[in-house]
Amino acid sequence: MIRRQFAAILLLFALIIPYATFGQQPGPQPPVADPNDPIERIKDEGMKRSQVMPTLSYLSDVIGPRLTASLNMKRANNWTRGTLEKWGMQNAHLEPWGPFGRGWALKRFSAQVTEPQDIPLIAYPKAWSPATNGAVTGEVVYLDAKTEADLEKYRGKLKGAIVLTQPTRELKARFDPLGTRRDEKNLLALADAPAPGGGPNRGAGGGGGFRLTPEQRAALQFNVRKLMFAQEEGAAVLVDGSRAGDGGTIFVQQAAVPQPVPEVPFGPGAPRQKAAYDKDAPKILPQIVVANEHYNRIVRMLQAGEQVKVEVNIGVEWQDADPMGYNTIAEIPGGDPALKDEIVMLGAHMDSWHSGTGATDNGAGVAATMEAVRILAALKLQPRRTIRIGLWSGEEEGLLGSKAYVAKHFGYFKTNSPSSSASSSSSSIRTPKDEASQKGLAQTSGTNAPPKRKLIRESEYEKLAAYFNLDNGAGKIRGVYLQGNEAVRPLFRRWLSPFADLGAEIREVKFPSYEKLVSLWIPMCSVETAEAHLETYPSRKSEYGPDLAQLIEQGRSVSGVEIAAIHHERLKFSGSLAALFEDIDLLLVPTMPMPIPTLAKMGEYGADPGVLLSILRFTAVFDFSGSPTITLPAGMASDQMPLSMQLVGPHLSEEVLARAAHAFQSTTDWHTQRPPIR
C-alpha cells in the first residue's frame, strides 16, 4: 500500500515541479504569481480540486466498455450529459446521428482446449460476432493456405471445425521498456519539425484515403477468400491470433464480413463496406481472437501431429430498438457580444472496443476534456467565445459520430458523379476541408469539367474558430499536433508558455548499490562520534549518558583497517552518485519505507539495530556521501500519520533544492496538515 501511495506522490511531483527549478545553472528567482491571475487560478483548481480521476474511474470502472450503440454507450452518454449539466454547462444534450445499426453486448464467453489436455485460453469474441447458441466443440484445423490450390486441400475437412485463419506471429523477447517518455530534446525536435508530407500510398490530390499496393490488395483479397471458403465448408468458429500485443494482451475489434477489397479501403474516397453491425449484414460465422502465445502453441501442437479440440461458448444480446448513435454536447456560452456566436470546440471520442474498459482509448481524453470545461465553470471564468465540448461515439468504426456532427453543423462535400452535372450530383459526407483542398481536387478534373467535390457550408461553418481533439492516451499534454496547419505553430507556443512550469522531465534511474553502506552506518556514526568527543571523553566520562557513552566506546573499538574499509565504501558510493548527477539535476527518493512512526514506535524500532537500519536506509546513505537533502511532506497515510519524501542534489546544490522545495510547497497544502495528537 505504501509503495502505491508513494507512486501517486511521485506522479504528482512530476506534474508540478517547475522547469526553472531543475536548471543546472540557477537563474533569477521567478516573480511571485498573482493568485487572482486566471492562469494561476486554473492551475490551483486543477491541482487541488481535480475531478479527472473520479470522472475516468466512473466512466471506465463503473460503466466500463462503451461499444457504439450498446447500452453501456448510451449510459455513458446520459451520465456525461448529466455530469456536465451538474457542473454548470448549458445546452447539455445528446445529439443523434445515424442510423448506425445494431447494438451488441457480450453476455457470456469461454474458450478452452479440451483435447488432448485442458488448456483455458486467453481469448475474446469480436464485436458483433454471432453467438454459438451454446457450447460448441470441434476439431481444430489450421487453414494454412496461400493459394486457391492450397484451399482445395481443405475441402470437406472444415465441417463443424474450429478454424485457425492466420499464420503465427513471431513474439520476440522484449529488452526495452513498454512505456517511454519523450525528453526535452525529443519534444524540441517535434516542435521544430516540418509538416509531414503525404506518403506514396495516399490517394490523389493529397486528400484521398490510403491506397493499397497491388500486392497488399491481393493478400487481403485472399484472406477474404479464406473466410468465405471456411463459411461455405460449414466451419463452426473462426479464430484469429491477436494482430498485436504479447504477454497475454490481445487486440480485439469487430467481426469481419467477407467482401471484395477496394483499392482504397479507408479514408476519404473509400467506398462504404458492409459491416457486421448493419441491420442487413449477411450471415457470418462466430469469430474470436486468441492471445498469440496460445494461438501459436495450438499451431505447434497441430504441426507436431496432435489432434486438438477446442470448446467455444459465445452468448450475445442484440439491441435493435434504437439504431441511432449519440454524441454528448454541452457548452459554456461566450460573454463578448461581438464574439459570443463564435465557437471554440474541444472533444474526445467516448466509444471504445468491448474487451477492455476503454480507459486509455479514450476515457483519458474524455476525462481531460471534461475536466477542462469543469475548471472554467467552477471558477466562473467567462470566455469571450462560446466553448463547446463534444464527446463522440462511432469513432472506432470510422469517425462516424464526429463526421455526422461536422456535416450537420459545419458542412460537407457533395461529390459529383462522372456522368452528371453539378445539379444532379450525388453527395457523400466528408469532414470539411479548406478552399485550398477543394481547389486541389478541382484541378484533378478535366479542364472544363465541374469540380469533383463541392463544399456545402452549414450554418456554423464561419463561426468555428478552432477544434482541439484529445485521443493520445494517458499522460500530460506536452504539446499540440498542428494537423498540417503551420500558421498556428507560434500561436500554440504562446498559449502553452504560461503552463511550461507545470512540467519537468521525470526519469527513472538506477540507484547505486547501497546495501553494504547501510550495514556500515552504525560503525561510521560511532567512529565519527568518538572523534568528535576526543577532548572530553573519557576524561569527563562521568558526565555522559549511557547511550552516548556506549556509542563512543563502540567507535573507539573500531580498528583502523575497519575504518579504511568504511572510507573505501564511502568513496565508491559517492563517486557513483556523482556520476548519476551528471545526467539529472535532482533525485527524488522516499525518506522512509513507511509512514513516519510515533515516538513510542520509534523507541521500539531503535531497540533492534536491524529494524532501525531498515527504516533509515533511504537517509543513512546520504550521510556517507554528504549530499544535500531536503524532506518534503507528502500527505497522510490511512492512519493519519505523515508521509514524506526527500529531494537530493549534488554537492553545492542547496539553492536549487530550496527553490524546488518552495515550488512544491507553493502548489500543495500538505505542509498545513497535522497528525492527531496521541
- What the block records as the C-alpha cell of 184 is 526535452
Better-scored residue on pLDDT, 2 or 336 = 336
Q: Each residue of 15-29: b (16+ CB within 10 Å) or e?
A: ebbbebbbeeeeeee
For residue 395, give the nearest of 73, 44, 117 by alpha carbon. Answer: 73
- What the block records as the C-alpha cell of 11 is 506522479
User: Are residues 286 and 238 in contact, defined by beta-carbon separation less than 8 angstroms?
Assistant: yes
pLDDT tens, 177-187?
A: 877 777 766 77
Same fold, 32-100+324-410+460-474+484-500 and 104-173+190-319: no
pLDDT tens, 372-393?
A: 999 999 999 999 999 999 999 9
What average pLDDT does this structure show over 575-586?
Answer: 83
pLDDT of residue 290 exceeding 50? yes
Average pLDDT value for the chain = 82
> For the chain, what percent of residues have pLDDT higher than 90?
50
Return the pLDDT at 39: 86
CA angle 154, 156, 161 (to 5 degrees): 80
Return the pLDDT at 344: 95
Q: Which range in 190-199, 477-486, 583-592 is most confidently predicted, on average pLDDT?
A: 583-592
Better-scored residue on pLDDT, 493 or 206 = 493
Return the pLDDT at 551: 87
* Crossing angle of the two packed helices 609-625 and 560-580, in degrees rounded to 10: 60
Return the pLDDT at 118: 97
**Whole-angstrom Cα distance, residue 206 to residue 200?**
10
CB atoms within 10 A of CB 257: 18
**Whole-angstrom Cα distance, residue 377 to residue 358?**
26
What Rg, from alpha-carbon coordinates, does the chain have?
A: 32
pLDDT tens, 229-277?
A: 999 999 999 999 999 999 989 999 999 999 888 877 766 667 888 999 9
CB atoms within 10 A of CB 327: 24
Return the pLDDT at 428: 45
**Whole-angstrom Cα distance, residue 132 to residue 518?**
62
pLDDT of residue 3 exceeding 60? no
pLDDT tens, 353-363?
A: 999 999 999 99
Fold that domain 32-100+324-410+460-474+484-500 belongs to in CATH: Aminopeptidase (3.40.630)
**Whole-angstrom Cα distance, residue 193 to residue 483?**
12
Return the pLDDT at 94: 98
Return the pLDDT at 196: 63
pLDDT of residue 523 exceeding 90? no
CB atoms within 10 A of CB 261: 16
Asked, as a colleague might, if the bond just before 538 is cis with ω within 30 of 0, I would say: yes
Better-scored residue on pLDDT, 395 or 39 = 395
Q: Which residues contact 231 (CB under 8 A, 6 or more apart)?
A: 258, 284, 285
User: Are residues 367 and 55 in contact, defined by beta-carbon separation less than 8 angstroms?
Assistant: yes
For residue 377, give the nearest of 60, 92, 587, 59 by alpha carbon. Answer: 92
Residue range 104-173+190-319, CATH number? 3.50.30.30
Least-confidence region, from 312-316, 390-394, 589-593: 589-593
What average pLDDT does this structure show over 565-579?
Answer: 86
DSSP string, 602-656: HHHHHTSHHHHHHHHHHHHHHHHHT--EEEEEEEE-TTS-EEEEEEE--TT-HHH
Strand duo 325-332 + 386-392: pairing:
antiparallel
Alpha helices in 164-213 (DSSP H): 184-192
User: Are residues 542 and 594 in contact, defined by beta-carbon separation less than 8 angstroms?
Assistant: no
Return the pLDDT at 640: 77
Q: In what order do the strands lie in the sheet with 162-164?
A: 119-120, 103-115, 309-319, 136-142, 162-164, 237-241, 287-290, 123-125
**Whole-angstrom Cα distance, residue 247 to residue 292?**
8
Going by pLDDT thresholds of 50, 70 and 90, the confidence category of residue 660 is confident
> What spatial distance separates the first Cα and last Cα of the chain, rounded to whole Å?
23
pLDDT of residue 424 exceeding 70? no
- What the block records as the C-alpha cell of 83 is 455530469
pLDDT of residue 637 exceeding 90? no
- What the block records as the C-alpha cell of 455 is 463544399
What average pLDDT does this structure show over 43-59?
Answer: 93
Return the pLDDT at 153: 95
Better-scored residue on pLDDT, 614 or 111 = 111
CA dihedral 204, 208, 209, 215 (to 10 degrees): 0
For 7, the enclosing helix (H) or strand (E) is helix 2-16
Q: In what order do the strands lie in the sheet with 464-469?
A: 90-97, 325-332, 386-392, 343-349, 464-469
Going by pLDDT thresholds of 50, 70 and 90, the confidence category of residue 133 is very high
User: Are residues 310 and 121 in contact, defined by beta-carbon separation less than 8 angstroms?
Assistant: yes
User: Are residues 243 and 70 in contact, defined by beta-carbon separation less than 8 angstroms?
Assistant: no
Going by pLDDT thresholds of 50, 70 and 90, the confidence category of residue 143 is very high
CA dihedral 78, 81, 84, 86 (to 10 degrees): -70
- Quick one: the chain helix, strand, coil %, rounded to 5? 40, 15, 45
Q: In what order do the strands lie in the sheet with 642-648?
A: 587-590, 642-648, 629-636
pLDDT tens, 545-561?
A: 998 998 899 889 989 88
For residue 366, give the nearest of 136, 59, 590 by alpha carbon. Answer: 59
pLDDT of residue 47 exceeding 70? yes
**Whole-angstrom Cα distance, residue 60 to residue 79?**
12
**Whole-angstrom Cα distance, residue 668 to residue 635?**
9
pLDDT tens, 63-117?
A: 999 999 999 999 999 999 999 999 999 999 999 999 999 999 999 999 999 999 9
pLDDT tens, 155-173?
A: 999 999 999 999 999 999 8
Return the pLDDT at 171: 93
pTM higher than the cut 0.95: no
- Residue boundaries of the structural domains of the chain: 1-30+584-678, 32-100+324-410+460-474+484-500, 104-173+190-319, 411-457
For residue 67, give the nearest of 108, 109, 124, 105 by alpha carbon. Answer: 105
Q: Which residues contact 466 (CB under 8 A, 6 or more apart)?
A: 344, 345
What single-letter amino acid sits at 594?
A: M
Tell me the residue length of the chain. Answer: 678
User: Are residues 279 and 323 in contact, defined by beta-carbon separation less than 8 angstroms?
Assistant: yes
The single-letter DSSP state of residue 266 is B
